[in-house]
Structure 1
Amino acid sequence: MSVRITLVAAARSSALLAERFDDDRPLDQAGWHEVQLAAHALMQLNASELRYCSPTVRSRATAQALGFAPMAQPALRDCDMGRWRGYTLAEVTAVEPGAVDAWLGDPRSAPHGGESLLAFISRIGGWLDTRPAEDGGTIVAVAEPSVVRAALVYALQAPPTSYWNVEVRSLSTVTLAGTAGRWSLRLQTAA
């Protein structure tokens, strides 16, 4: 029995360089505009049997604006960044360059006192693996781009450091198909 899970990256809440760790700001004006432009293309996901979202304000707002009426999933929260929460990467690098290097280089490292990259990827993978596997079942989940990246790394059984090589843009989608521990990436055709 397999299930199909489509992950939708939440619309943005700030410019890329102004993004803050573990940020829970609402959608900005550009984010609302993105949702309006993408809504028609994502409308078919409304037919999914189960609809989830990350508990962040922007993920919930994105899902609601798309008409998904989702159930918030605490397991889909962003990585716990400990004392770095609310700061940009540039701000943290200016104060703790060695800690940032350790965090970027070792997926088991959590110099910020929060969750390591490996623990984050494992948590997201645990959520994937516990989805109801009704054959042919469909699920949509709106989550932070970092959550989508973690899900891809887990599903593809890629090394945790490959997380840094995956770019997930606002309102992009990816579909994973399979069952616990056996996921495949499903690319859509333009038809």
Structure 2
Amino acid sequence: MPLRVTFVAAARGAPLLAERFEDDRPLDQAGWDEVQRVAGDLLPLAAAELRYCSPTPRSRATGDALGYAPLVQLALRDCDMGRWRGLTLGEAMAREPEAVDSWLADPRATPHGGESLLAFISRVGGWLDTRPVDDAGRIVAVAEPSVIRAALVYALKAPPSSYWNIDVRPLSTTTVSGRSGRWNLRFDGIPAQRSRT
């Protein structure tokens, strides 16, 4: 039986335009409301043999609110953004426009002094490839959208630049199945009870 890993995107912690690099703010009220609206649809994932989450407050809170009691996985942390941590993309661009352009264009670039996009994708992919195939058939992992994007790029063996073309919505689910080095992708979508984007 192939391993199935379902990623659940953490609920919102801030409006989209206010999102910050390595944002460690807790869920905002809109995020809590969204979790309550979709909890019934996502609760069956709590039956997974293993339940994990990113170490961010909003990922942990989302997993707990959905009844998963997830185990924190450091490998599922957001990309280390070095001195840009806590800034919005617009703020980083205003301070260091050439450095941001370099970072967006080159997946190996680390102008912020943190982790490159390629290293981030490899770290998250390494976590995916080391899941215990023999011990569990189903895994659920609540993670930041950026982490899920990295996992999808890795699973599809897509070029790192495709990371920028993947949109992961809060509380959407995406499943990869297979085993190390051979993953298939299934878009599960956003639970039907959600009425707004």
TM bin, normalised by shorter chain, reads over 0.9
TM-score, length of structure 1 as denominator length: 0.96
Counterpart check, 1:81 vs 2:81: yes
Please state how far the C-alpha of 1:134 moved relative to its aligned partner. Answer: 2.7
Aligned counterpart, 1:70: 70
Shift of 1:186: 2.3
Matched residue, 1:56:
56
Q: What are the superposed Cα offsets for residues 55-89 of structure 1, whole Å, 9 maximum, x if unpaired?
A: 11000000000000010000000000000000111
Match of residue 114 from structure 2: 114
CA distance in 2, matches of 1:38, 1:110: 37
Counterpart of 1:92 in 2: which secondary structure? helix
Show the counterpart of 2:25. 25
Cα deviation digits, residues 101-149 of structure 1 (max 9, x gap): 0000000001000000000000000000000113870000000000000
Which residue does the alignment assign to 1:174?
Answer: 174
- AA aligned to 1:17 is L
Q: Displacement of 1:95 after TM fit?
A: 1.0
Hey, what does 1:142 align to over in structure 2?
Answer: 142
Residue in structure 1 matched with residue 162 of structure 2 by the alignment: 162
Q: Which residue of 2 aligns with 1:3?
A: 3
Shift of 1:43: 1.0
SS in structure 2 opposite 1:6? strand
Unpaired segments ≥5 residues, structure 2: 192-197
Q: Distance in 1 between matches of 2:145 and 2:42?
A: 17
TM-score w.r.t. the length of structure 2 is 0.94
Native 8 Å contact 1:59 1:142 kept in 2:
yes
Aligned CA-pair RMSD = 1.5
Find the residue that maps to 1:8 and give its secondary structure: strand
Q: Which amino acid aligns with 2:102?
A: A
**2:43 aligned residue:** 43
- Per-residue deviation, 1:182: 0.6
- 2:134 and 2:36 map into 1 onto residues whose CA distance is 32
The answer (yes or no) to whether the contact 2:172–2:188 under 8 Å persists in 1 is no
Counterpart in the other structure of 1:93:
93
Displacement after TM superposition at 1:187 (Å)? 3.9
Give 5+ residue unaligned stretches, structure 1.
none
Q: Percent identity?
A: 71
**Counterparts of 1:166 and 1:143, CA distance in 2:** 15
